[in-house]
Structure 1
């Protein structure tokens, strides 16, 4: 079942995000100690503000357990004038998918696709012209999923020394508000 995330999902969301992008937890919290970073990240997910807030997440739940997550929000929340162009992950006017993760034992069932489509539906409803994301150049499986869903490479970004493809999917004109 796909549903909006709630504060009680924080531990599962943190586990999923850490699995998908281990460096993002420390990057968002500014903490080097993994246990401290995870605790701080769980608190960020439980809060009602910030890009890590549960308010920006939808989860996929099966048998009462969260097994997948998409974290997505307006690009303006992560675009600032002082961010170098090579580090920009999105454009201010796009809806940005920050993270999509499904536990390994549940992959191959279309859950990631459903999570991505849920983010796209939110973007359409909120009147965004496009959805964008970044994918590690070495993550060919994720790239293939996004390519099949209509995302195209729109540039590159270098984040924490890693090179990512910037990918973007225009949304139907007039589909939003």
Structure 2
């Protein structure tokens, strides 16, 4: 790769790493795995940079590679889910209003837990369509499927997401009672 192309790739990677990491987290629900997915995606992009460096194809290509990396990681038979027994505390930003921050954190947690329960292909479609604001055609191109498949997976994914959020609403009173100290 020429020095000029190398610099273009570095600029692109610096500008897009955070948004790719957010997208990866929305899909997989784990920040560490999201970082691994972004790193793998950028490595693959680096190898293909001279072919895809036109701005109109780079974004589509990088989204495709990220989704493929995640689906490949999810399919690996040797991969086992980590069993977590605790919660790592988040760094608190004192500039944020505690009441509104707590409400936002609660809402994000509800959505993330519900999204994590949606099957992988449906989750990928939901993230591409609603979090990345891509069209049906763009999502189909990234996932290498038909537009009809994207539409049906979106419909099924939204149904599964609604059901998961309703289950969380039903579990809320039970969890509140179980969490009370007597």
Taking structure 2 as the reference length, what is the TM-score of the superposition? 0.30
In terms of Rg, which structure is larger? 2
Tell which has more relative contact order, 1 or 2 (C-alpha 8 A, sep 6+).
2
Taking structure 1 as the reference length, what is the TM-score of the superposition? 0.31
